[in-house]
Homo-oligomer: A and B are copies of this chain.
Amino acid sequence: MSSCETCVVRNRAICAGLDDKELVALNSMGRRRNVSAGEPLIWEADDSLVVANVIEGVLKLTTSTEDGREQIVGVAYPSDFIGRPFGQTSRASVVALTDARVCVFARNDFDRFAREHPELEHKLLERTLAELDRTRSWMMLLGRKTASEKIATFLLEMADRFGDQGCAPVLMPAQRFALPFSRQQVADLLGLTIETVSRQFTRLKQDGVIGLPSRREVEVIDRRALQALAG
C-alpha cells in the first residue's frame, strides 16, 4: 500500500496542496523505501540522482573531509524534503539515524513535475527558506558558542521537538525524550569531540539540570538553567 492517499505526512509534506489528479501522477513516479538505522540513502559526491520525502524516522545530512572528520549539516524529520533538485549535485551524504521510511523520486522526474506545478515549487521554496534560516542560526552556534552553550542549545532544541510538553494543569512537568543521536553524532552536530559531549552531559547531570535515565534518554529538569546556559 504505497499510496499518497494514506500517507501520514500527506498534509505536512510538500505534496500538500496537490489535487487528486496531480497526486496520482506524483504517486506513479515515486516509490516507498525503508531505510534501516545506519544505512545510507544518498552517498556524498555520489551522483545519486534522487530526492525524497521523509515519511517516518530521522536522517542526518553530513559532509566529511578527506581525513575523516565529519560534520552533520542538517537533520531530516518526517515531512521534510531530502535531496538537491535542479541541476546541481549536492555534496552531502544522507544516512538514517533511526529506521526510516521515505518516498523516493528520480530527480529528473521530480524536476519536471515540479516545474509544471508552481504550487509544489512554492512549498519547496518556503521549506528551503526555512531550512536556510535554521542552518544560519546553527552557524552562529558552530562559530561562536562554547561547548556548554552548544550542549544547552542542542538540548533545548531537542526538548522542543520531542518533549512531551504534557498539557499538565499548572506546573510544567520535567520534559523527557529519547535522543535519535549517539554521543558521536551529537559531537558531529555541534562541532565537538565525543569526550567533550560526554563530559558536558555528566556535568549538567551533576548540577541537577538534566537527568539521564539511559544512554539515549534525556530529562530536562531545570529548563530555565538550560536557557541561561544556551547563550
Contacts and interface: CB of A to CB of B under 8 A. Distances in A.
Q: Work out how many copies of this chain go into the complex.
A: 2
Contacts of A231: 65-67
B139 A73 contact: yes
Contact of A70 (B115, B144, B190, B191): B144
A20 B36 CA distance: 52
Interface residues of A, number: 44
A79 interface: no
A88 B133 contact: yes
A191 B143 contact: yes
A142 B190 CA distance: 10
Interface string A124-136: 1110111111011
Given A121-B118, A139-B71, A191-B144, A128 B128 contact: yes
A136 B88 contact: no
A12 to B, nearest CB: 16
Nearest to A85: B129
